[in-house]
Homo-oligomer: A and B are copies of this chain.
Amino acid sequence: MRTTLPEAFPAHTPAVPQIFTIVLSHGPVTRAEIARRAGVSPAAVTKAVRPLIEAGYLVEEAGEDLPPALGRPANALRVDGGRALFIGVKVTGDSAIAVLTDLRCRIRVTRRASLDDRSPDGVLATTGELVTELLVEAEGFGVQVRGIGFAVSGDVVRTDGTVRYSPFLDWRDVPLGERAAAATGLPVTVENDVRALTVAEQWFGAGAGLTDFALVTVGAGIGCGLVVGGRVVSGAHGVAGEIGHLSIDPTGPPCHCGNRGCVEAIASDPAIVREVRARTGIHVADAAEALALARGGDTAARQVYARAGEAIGRAIGSLVNLLGPERVIISGEGLAAHDLFADRIQDAFTVSAFGTAARCEVSTHPLPFEAWARGAAATAIQSFIGSDSRSGGSGWR
């Protein structure tokens, strides 16, 4: 027996997605504050939030305000995360991870599976099982799952749910969204993995409330999500943020892209492993072993990490010079080596950043691997509340 489900999201006035997003990312917030942030009248806020409160998506926060305030005390609003569930799926080259989140993108359940068959059929079969399991879990919460998001690395067309090209999966023009929607009967969003993670950070994470920031992910590859003027950058051809192929040193090691000295050819896990082997003569098997060697005090190995940090710092310097963001968030599995290169990143950045750009704050923000799947869920939430159509607006010309 399942409790009654709330109706579709009552986004019947255009300002609703904006207002809801403000409440979502700015915690409990008063109507007056919402009105100021959104640049609309308080009356408009009152009218917009009423249906949301009635539908249960927003609740009034009792008491706990900033006590010493003049005038009538404000009633803060917050999102009741429990009124809707979402599923986010991250697909890598050899595994899939899926999370069940609430409307506030808090992870409730996590499921993983290894991926033997990378073909579209194989991936759909594996992720389909994960999704089914999570849908069963969801029944325990008595709340319906309102959307599924997929995060895939590569060239993804969000608007039509197509994976144009994914090197890791060796996919070309796969209508993932369409197929997954057909299989599950639920709304499906498909987004590039880094952009999905960026959306999650923009709304719920270290980028909350910022209009200009960058998220740099360090690990098997070096990726980057950009938020400029409050909007996630997709580029004219759907590809952007390729910070991994910024060439830092024209005499640096060759990169698989054909250029030399790319950050990815210096600071990605494979590059580090390769370089540690070359410099120490020790055949480390993977990034973990290379890291252990460096932690053990091997000077040559430590130098490899130092060099990686410098490359990342310089690349971030370039990014900051170009875009002038307020913050750069470094994340990814590669942060395991944080202690070995964090200082180098900061130093190289400080040297590279020009003028006021140096005001940009560069910080590391470790994220568990589920965060990638959480990012996928965030895109599903975005779509559910009707925010994606708007924020993707043309900004005309």
Contacts and interface: CB of A to CB of B under 8 A. Distances in A.
Interface in A175-234: 202-203, 208-213, 224, 226, 228-231, 233-234
A13 interface: no
A379 to B, nearest CB: 16
A9 B319 CA distance: 39
A395 B234 contact: no
A21 B213 CA distance: 29
Residue in A234, A324, A325 with the greatest tally of chain B CB atoms within 10 Å: A324
Contacts of A356: 155, 237-239
Residue in A21, A155, A318, A391 with the greatest tally of chain B CB atoms within 10 Å: A318
Residue in A234, A250, A257 with the greatest tally of chain B CB atoms within 10 Å: A250
B228 A354 contact: no
Question: How many copies of this chain does one complex carry?
Answer: 2
Contact of A245 (B155, B234, B321): B321
Nearest to A17: B396
A210 B203 CA distance: 28
A325 B236 contact: yes
A317 B352 contact: no
Contact of A325 (B224, B235, B259): B235
Interface string A342-361: 00000000011011110110
Contacts of A229: 228-229, 231, 233, 394-395
A231 B352 CA distance: 26
A18 B382 CA distance: 26
A246 B250 CA distance: 13
Given A21-B397, A321-B243, A326 B230 contact: no
Interface in A234-257: 234-251, 257
A316 to B, nearest CB: 11
A39 interface: yes
Contact of A235 (B240, B244, B323): B323
Interface string A64-101: 00000000000000000000000000000000000000
Interface range, A side: 35 or more
A374 interface: no
A360 B58 CA distance: 45
Interface string A25-45: 100000000000111000000
Contact of A210 (B38, B234, B397): B397
A107 interface: no
A294 interface: no
A9 B92 CA distance: 55
A238 B324 contact: yes
Interface in A269-288: none
A22 interface: yes
Interface of A: 18, 21-22, 25, 37-39, 155, 202-203, 208-213, 224, 226, 228-231, 233-251, 257-259, 314, 317-319, 321-326, 351-352, 354-357, 359-360, 391, 393-397
